[in-house]
């Protein structure tokens, strides 16, 4: 049984996926459709932007994800289940049949506006990705920050040793030092809290943003990233966009649910990201790489490069 995963990632810039959007037939078709929906050319603006979360980069990300999913579906059929994280929820909602392509692109614009307006304000918070930190050590880090008057909150568990932690911005340097002091790896920081209770005003804005869109019952079961629950109803799927900004991610629960459902193979959809590493530990994994040339890979004439791997420990 197969599943598709739309990994949440920072949208890539033109240098990584511009060639794919211009040359892949599935991408060209979706790009044309998206530009008709939005009433604007995407590629010219995308080629000039240097901001990963610019409107054009977000639009290009959505088009890229759907084009890759179109190819997988055309060549191998529809998956039984779908999962996603962060910005990956939008293409996932189209894939499972809950949103039309047109509404996905329009809703993507509204979500971007809400998020950019919220993040442009100074909230005094940050979030930090770390590797090689187990859950016991993560709890110690939270306690340490709180002991000096700071705020700390777990934003996501992506494996038993990969986590995202929200923290008061003034205590971010302390957190980074302490992560490294015990052999952990400080990877990436964001200038705002992610998947946090501090984002309830943003959730209210997103609730209003989704209110005018028509969601339908899913054809493919969606495995929710916070608890592994399988969702199909229109209203359950609508809340994914609203709740993601305030709800902790727990990807190990998604893995457990997919394994329990009998999933043995996962296609990771979208530009290179963390979820390639996480899925191949448990499933036969295929990644369609629209950023292949940026990775130093050969780009085949018949479509994007494919990276396949068996689960760790398999013979």
Task: With a cut of 50, say whether residue 68 has pLDDT above it.
Answer: yes
Q: How far is residue 215's CA from residue 234's CA, in Å, rounded to a whole number?
A: 5
CA-CA distance, 7 to 92, in Å (whole number)? 10
pLDDT at 297: 64
Give the residue, 298 or 117, on which the prediction is more confident: 117
The mean pLDDT value for 38-67 works out to 90
Alpha-carbon gap, residue 66 to 232, rounded angstroms: 20
**What is the spatial distance between Cα 133 and Cα 141, in angstroms, rounded to a whole number?**
10
Decide the pairing of beta strands 230-231 and 221-223: antiparallel
CA-CA-CA-CA torsion sign (23, 266, 155, 145): negative
For the record, the structure tokens of 75 come out as: 């060549």
Class of domain 2-120+198-309: alpha beta
Phi/psi for 150 (5° steps) reads -95, 180
Q: What's this model's pTM, rounded to 2 decimal places? A: 0.92
Unique residue bearing structure tokens 């068996």: 310
* pLDDT value at 88 more than 80: yes
pLDDT value of residue 260: 98
Residue 30 above 60 pLDDT? yes
- Compute the mean pLDDT over every residue in the chain, rounded to the nearest whole number: 91
Asked whether residue 37 carries a pLDDT value surpassing 80, the answer given is yes
pLDDT tens, 169-193?
A: 999 999 999 999 989 999 999 999 9
pLDDT for 208 equals 96
CATH 3.30.1490.390 for domain 125-191, yes or no, is no
Residue 277 confidence (pLDDT): 82
Return all residues near 9 (Cβ < 8 A) that are at least 6 apart.
86, 87, 88, 270, 271, 272, 273, 274
Q: How confident is the model over 212-232, as pLDDT tens digits?
A: 999 999 999 999 999 999 999
Whole-number Å distance between alpha carbons of 144 and 93: 39
Contact 67, 219 (CB under 8 A): no
Determine the length of the chain: 315
pLDDT at 315: 47
Q: Is the pLDDT of residue 123 over 80?
A: yes
Q: Which residues are CB-contacts of 282 (< 8 A; sequence separation ≥ 6)?
A: 255, 258, 259, 311, 312
In the numeric block, which tokens belong to residue 58? 């977000």
Summarize the confidence of residues 140-165 as an average pLDDT.
97
Residue percentage of the chain with pLDDT more than 70: 92
| Three-state secondary structure call for residue 111 | helix
| Domain regions of the chain by residue span | 2-120+198-309, 125-191
DSSP characters over 207-222: HHHHTTS-----SSEE
Q: Which long-range contacts (CB under 8 A, 24 or more apart) does 48-55 make?
A: 49/13, 49/14, 50/13, 52/10, 52/11, 52/12, 52/13, 53/10, 53/11, 53/112, 53/115, 53/116, 55/109, 55/112
In the predicted structure, residue 10 carries a pLDDT above the cut 70: no
pLDDT at residue 33, rounded to an integer: 98
pLDDT in tens, 262-304: 999 999 987 766 788 888 889 999 988 787 666 666 666 656 7
* 33-59 average pLDDT score: 90
Same fold, 2-120+198-309 and 125-191: no
């Amino acid at each position: 049984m197969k599943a598709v995963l739309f990994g949440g990632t920072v949208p890539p810039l033109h240098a990584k996926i511009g060639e794919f959007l211009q040359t892949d037939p599935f991408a060209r078709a979706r790009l044309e459709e998206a530009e008709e929906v939005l009433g604007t050319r995407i590629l010219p603006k995308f080629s000039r932007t240097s901001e990963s979360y610019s409107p054009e980069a977000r639009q290009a990300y959505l088009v890229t994800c759907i084009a890759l999913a179109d190819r997988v579906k055309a060549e191998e059929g529809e998956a039984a289940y779908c999962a996603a994280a962060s910005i990956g929820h939008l293409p996932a909602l189209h894939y499972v049949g809950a949103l039309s392509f047109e509404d996905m692109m329009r809703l993507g614009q509204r979500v971007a506006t809400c998020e950019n307006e919220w993040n442009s304000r100074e909230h005094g918070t940050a979030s930090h990705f770390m590797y090689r930190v187990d859950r016991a050590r993560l709890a110690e880090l939270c306690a340490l920050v709180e002991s000096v008057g700071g705020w700390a909150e777990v934003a996501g568990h992506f494996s038993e040793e990969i986590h995202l932690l929200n923290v008061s911005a003034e205590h971010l340097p302390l957190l980074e030092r302490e992560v490294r002091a015990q052999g952990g790896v400080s990877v990436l920081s964001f200038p705002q809290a992610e998947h946090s209770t501090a984002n309830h005003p943003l959730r209210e804005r997103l609730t209003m943003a989704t209110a005018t869109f028509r969601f339908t019952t899913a054809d493919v079961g969606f495995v929710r990233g916070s608890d592994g629950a399988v969702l199909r109803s229109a209203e359950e799927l609508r809340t994914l966009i609203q709740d993601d900004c305030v709800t902790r991610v727990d990807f190990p629960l998604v893995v457990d649910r997919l394994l329990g459902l009998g999933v043995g193979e996962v296609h990771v959809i979208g530009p290179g990201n963390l979820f390639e590493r996480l899925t191949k530990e448990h499933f036969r994994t295929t990644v369609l790489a629209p950023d292949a040339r940026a990775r130093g890979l050969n780009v085949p004439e018949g479509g994007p490069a494919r990276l396949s791997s068996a689960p760790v420990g398999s013979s």
